[in-house]
Amino acid sequence: MGRAYSDITFTQGVRAMQTRMGSRENYAAFDRATDRRDRLTGREASFIGARDHFYQATVSETGWPYVQHRGGPPGFLKVLDDKTIGYADFRGNVQYISVGNLTADNRVSLLLMDHAAQKRLKLLGRARLVEAADDSALVETLRPPGYRAVIERAIIISIEGYDWNCPQHITPRFTEAEIAAAVAPLHARIAALEAELKERGDTR
């Protein structure tokens, strides 16, 4: 965790609870840290670029949090520079809850998961909505190649802070592609053995 993330998330109430539960001293060093970690490094960029989904939280005008799943082909969430990420907002169920929330409060929290490797990255930022009609060139830079979906706008997020979460309690899960890659050698071995048996004339 960097100073930027702790400055945002360790509110007075959070600090009071940490003190009550005996963990405040564990995190006190972040108050003096000079490394803010509010700029993405190659590690974060690589992780972000490999994701095919993430969860995004916004806040409504009445103070209710709203979490939405966002999905697409790997790399649909793009790193534009070390302080900026963005993605194409595909047309969905046209409820526009996240987009509506962002017109009143531009703060977002993103959770990116790699279940297979038991890794997660949390991002805090401020989002800017760019309608497709207003900047078609920007929208096109965010369009995933070959992905058929109607893009209504670009969502550009300025990074305020990030944190790599610990792997504890992350249940490993695997995508179809990850499973296929893992069992490919087994299929190849089975095919080779079957071919060998066929060549020997053994039909058992």
| Residue-level pLDDT at 153 | 95
Domain positions in the chain = 1-35, 38-171, 174-204
Q: Which residue numbers in the chain have pLDDT < 50?
A: none
For 101, half-sphere exposure in the C-beta direction (CA atoms, 13 angstrom radius) is: 20
| Residue-level pLDDT at 10 | 95
Architecture label for domain 38-171: Roll (2.30)
Query: H or E segment at 13?
Result: helix 12-21
Find, among 130, 107, 125, 117, the residue nearest to 171 by Cα.
Answer: 117
Q: pTM for the complete prediction?
A: 0.88
Amino acid identity for residue 37 in this structure: R
Find, among 149, 137, 49, 157, the residue nearest to 90 by Cα.
Answer: 149
Find, among 85, 152, 88, the residue nearest to 121 by Cα.
Answer: 85
Q: For 48-61, how does the pLDDT look when each residue is reduced to its tens digit (9 = 90+)?
A: 999 999 999 999 99
The CA-CA-CA angle for residues 144, 147, 149, to 5°, reads: 105
| Residue-level pLDDT at 203 | 58
For 81, half-sphere exposure in the C-beta direction (CA atoms, 13 angstrom radius) is: 2
| Residue-level pLDDT at 199 | 87
| Residue-level pLDDT at 202 | 63
| Residue-level pLDDT at 167 | 85
What are the residue ranges of helices labelled H in 40-175? 42-50, 97-104, 136-142
